A = this chain, B = another copy of it.
Amino acid sequence: MEQPSAAIGGPVSHAIFRVARLHRMLAGSLLRPTGLYPGQELLMMHLWDHGPQRQSQLVSVLDSDAPTVTRTVQRLERAGFVRRRPDPTDARASLIEPTPASRHLREQIEQIWQQLEQLTVGPLDPADHSSALGILEQLERNLVTATTARACDDEGAN
């Protein structure tokens, strides 16, 4: 495959794109036997760690948006991994909790995360490993800055 011009215009952007795609594919493929789709495991893990949650809490913790969480919860509910209970203190809200049946999943998920991490990091020596993490965190900070800057611009424009 020849060098696409995307790589010329933005080598880092293009690399992020490809790494993310491969990583998501690999995660999906590792997760497949459990019946979960990528993204659902984050929600489950948070429920296991922190107990019953409101959807709004899940939205802020997962840094997702309300419609996505609504449907993810619906799918997990249909799959039997999650259950809803009315919030006694607020009739608008419901509490999402993992079902007893889902306990079995937890160790699978943890093992998959370990495996995914190891496959991703591969044969990197510890120095490269920590510099990889540092670079990614720097990129994240840059992107957060850029995103919030754009959000403010938009506000000003409106």
Q: Which residues of chain A have a CB within 8 Å of any CB of chain B?
A: 1-2, 4-6, 9-13, 15-27, 29, 42, 45-46, 49, 60-63, 110, 113-114, 116-117, 119-124, 128-129, 131-133, 135-147, 150
Contact = CB atoms under 8 A, between A and B. Distances in A.
Copies of this chain, how many?
2
Contacts of A45: 4-6, 9
Contact of A135 (B1, B4, B135): B135
13 contacts: A4-B49, A6-B42, A12-B129, A15-B133, A19-B139, A19-B143, A22-B140, A22-B144, A120-B146, A122-B138, A122-B139, A122-B142, A132-B135
Contacts of A10: 113-114, 116-117, 120
Chain A contact residues, majority secondary structure: helix
B5 A121 contact: no
A12 B120 contact: yes
A131 B13 CA distance: 14
Given A135-B128, A139-B19, A113 B13 contact: yes
A114 B12 CA distance: 11
Contacts of A139: 19, 23, 120-122, 132
Given A16-B23, A19-B136, A114-B10, A119 B131 contact: no
